[in-house]
Amino acid sequence: MEGLLFKPSYRGKRVRLSKPELLAPAGNLEKLKFAVHYGADAVYIGGQKYGLRSNADNFSFEEMREGVEFAAKYGAKVFVATNIYVHNEDIEGIEEYLRHLYDAGIAAIIAADPAIIDVAQRAVPGLEVHLSTQQSTLNWQAVKFWKEEGLPRVVLGREASLEEIAEIKNQVEIEIEAFIHGAMCSSISGRCVLSNHFTDRDSNRGGCCQSCRWKYDLFEDAGGQDSEHKESSTGNAMARFPLFEEEDPAFTMGSKDLCMLEHIPDLIEVGIDSFKIEGRMKSIHYVATVVNVYRQAIDAYFEDPEHYVLRPEWLEELNKAANRPLNTGFFYDIPDHEDHIYEPKDKAAPYDFAGLVLEYDETDKTAVIQQRNFFAKGQEIEFFGPNGTFFKQTVQEMWDEDGLPLEAARHPLQRIRMKVDFPVAYFDMMRRKH
């Protein structure tokens, strides 16, 4: 059967391996379409309520229906995160909300709080429930508990190692979903309360302000240990002096991002059923690039497992969308001081999404591009797409919709016809280096 093979697993036991699901984030409807078009088997989104990304462009029920219909054309599924921890005032309305999700065609919800899980199983039995990583599930007995509660899939805590995943798969017959790429939490998978204290935004109700990414410094009160509430003769709070020199940079406490691209065989052979990419708040360029790379790597492994080789160009592609330094999280060891970012050197992705291919004319070798970011004649650009498109060229001749020549594409969503060096296809992307 296609997508199945037999070989030694991560711990040496000969098992049947099936191609894992590639699960991508989608912060809005457009990102959903890009994720699916670039190779995702499923996408997870947020609705207007009960999700942990309150700042994302979350989906209305109408947008969910459109997303489900689009995904179905590609054989993909749509999941909805309902993964907040519920307070009393959140309880009213859960059942109605879940029924709307089911009516919209949502395949499953991702939930952490037993209140939501219970309502879903009791009132909307056709709606599948996956246990969220917010439950920080890390051992096979906990996984077994949730299986006995009727859940078909558990999203493990990011702190699970490959050895622990192997033991879970050996002990419990259940689908396991694990994060394999994206941001990591400096706390235990979202249990941080810094956000609550600093900004009154609850991390476990969708309001995390990412306090660990802020810049911090250390100061000393001028009046000593008892001076915290004292005032100077002018009525102002007592002065505070930095403990370090002014030229010393402030520090952050954020973790490096997770990247398991170099370890695809281990992830597959340990038996992980769903490879999850983090990033509902990330850009279209990020989603398309990361999904495209992992799609290629997974497919290449199953084409010839015995001769699978990591391609250097895959890592190069990921780095074009990376925001932070990368590591392997908890999969092989416990992260230490080298796995955190102390100096605020976070960089924006080095490439911008410059344009989207809408049409290609084989006769005159031109493409109609929808502008997404400024680009101009003489600049080097790259084209890439889910069907293998990849090449660099210099922007040459281009014209507006009236056929008038252009020196630069300045207007968002402007349709531009331009010369291209090689064939391109609908939904290929054009990017430009900063």
* Stated pTM of the model: 0.88
pLDDT band at 4 (very low <50, low <70, confident <90, very high): very low
Cα distance between residue 391 and residue 400, in whole Å:
23
The reported pLDDT for the residue numbered 14 is 43
Radius of gyration of the chain, Cα coordinates, nearest whole angstrom: 24
Most confident residue range from 313-322, 341-350, 418-427:
418-427
The reported pLDDT for the residue numbered 76 is 98
The reported pLDDT for the residue numbered 343 is 74
| Size of the chain, expressed as the number of residues it contains | 434
The reported pLDDT for the residue numbered 37 is 97
| Averaged pLDDT, 62-78 | 97
What's the Cα-to-Cα distance from 328 to each of 2, 33, 172, rounded to whole Å? 30, 28, 25
Residue 348 has pLDDT above 80, yes or no: no
Cα distance between residue 100 and residue 48, in whole Å:
12
The reported pLDDT for the residue numbered 96 is 96
Cα distance between residue 296 and residue 11, in whole Å:
25
Please state the φ and ψ torsions of residue 289, each to the nearest 5 degrees.
Answer: -65, -50
82-120 tens-digit pLDDT:
988 899 999 999 999 999 999 999 999 999 999 999 999
DSSP structure class, residue 168: H
pLDDT band at 219 (very low <50, low <70, confident <90, very high): confident
The reported pLDDT for the residue numbered 256 is 87
Cα 140–chain centre separation: 26
DSSP structure class, residue 327: E
Residue 381 has pLDDT above 90, yes or no: yes
Question: Closest by alpha carbon to 106, among 64, 73, 140?
Answer: 64
Cα distance between residue 351 and residue 305, in whole Å:
32
The reported pLDDT for the residue numbered 131 is 97
Residue 196 falls in which region: left (phi positive, over 0), alpha (psi -120 to 50) or beta: alpha
Cα 323–Cα 328–Cα 385 angle in degrees, nearest 5: 50
Cα distance between residue 379 and residue 393, in whole Å:
8
Cα 304–chain centre separation: 28
Please state the φ and ψ torsions of residue 375, each to the nearest 5 degrees.
Answer: -150, 160
Q: Write the DSSP assignment of 18-34 as a string of letters.
A: EPPEEEEE-SSHHHHHH
Q: For the domain 351-433, what is the CATH superfamily, name and number? A: Translation factors (2.40.30.10)
Please state which of the ranges 128-142, 176-190, 287-301 shows the lowest mean pLDDT: 176-190
The reported pLDDT for the residue numbered 233 is 44
Cα distance between residue 276 and residue 53, in whole Å:
16
Residue 184 in 3-state DSSP?
coil
Residue 79 has pLDDT above 50, yes or no: yes
What are the residue ranges spanned by the domains of the chain? Answer: 4-188+254-341, 217-250, 351-433
Counting DSSP H helices and E strands in the chain, the numbers are 11, 25
235-274 tens-digit pLDDT:
455 566 667 666 677 778 788 889 999 999 999 999 999 9
The reported pLDDT for the residue numbered 59 is 92
* Torsion angle, alpha carbons of 142, 167, 165, 20, to 10: -110
Mean confidence (pLDDT) of the chain: 88
4-188+254-341: CATH number: 3.20.20.70
The reported pLDDT for the residue numbered 430 is 97
The reported pLDDT for the residue numbered 237 is 52
